[in-house]
Copies of this chain bind each other. A is one copy, B any other.
Amino acid sequence: MLYYRIMNETQAVSALSALAHAQRLRVFRALVVAGPEGLTPSILADQLDVARNTLSFHLKELAHAGLVTIEQQGRNLIYRAEYSRMNGLIGYLTEHCCQGGVCEVSPSSAICTTC
């Protein structure tokens, strides 16, 4: 029972690069906490005290890496964390752990499978 798809190296580097920045990491974690409801750029900008054009740039990076999704609602955009992508990244990092020995990664390593 797999809840995600293991990604390739390019996708993993892209996701890791996207998260390897303090502001983007804060944005992503805020979206993880927000859950399925998601957040708008305005709310995020206020909450995290980031300039809106800067935030827009960083959200684009996260979206390009597949870590967040965008839905338009009127003149607002709703950003949401893409849990399956996050789980795919975790799977990529831990794949074939310890040569398939005692530490074998089980599908239960995935998080947020119900989102």
Seen from chain A, the residues whose Cβ lies within 8 Å of a Cβ on chain B are 9-10, 12-13, 16-17, 19-22, 25-26, 28-29, 32-36, 83, 86, 90, 92-99, 101-103, 105, 108-115
CA A17 to CA B10, docked complex, whole Å = 15
A22 to B, closest residue via Cβ = B13
Contact A33 B98 (CB under 8 A): yes
Chain B residues with CB under 8 A of A112 = 94, 97-98, 103, 105
A30 CB to closest chain B CB, in angstroms? 10
CB distance from A29 to the nearest CB of B (A): 7
Chain B residues closer than 8 Å to A113, beta-carbon distance: 103
Please pick, from B19, B26, B32, B95, the residue contacting A16 in the complex, using a CB distance under 8 A: B19
Dominant secondary structure of chain A at its interface with chain B: helix
Are A94 and B115 in contact (CB-based, < 8 A)?
A: no
Other-chain contact of A20, B16, B94, B96 (Cβ < 8 Å): B16
Residues on B with beta carbons closer than 8 Å to the beta carbon of A108 = 108-109
Q: List the B side residues contacting A13 at CB < 8 Å.
A: 20-22, 25
Decide if B109 touches A114 in the complex (CB within 8 Å): no
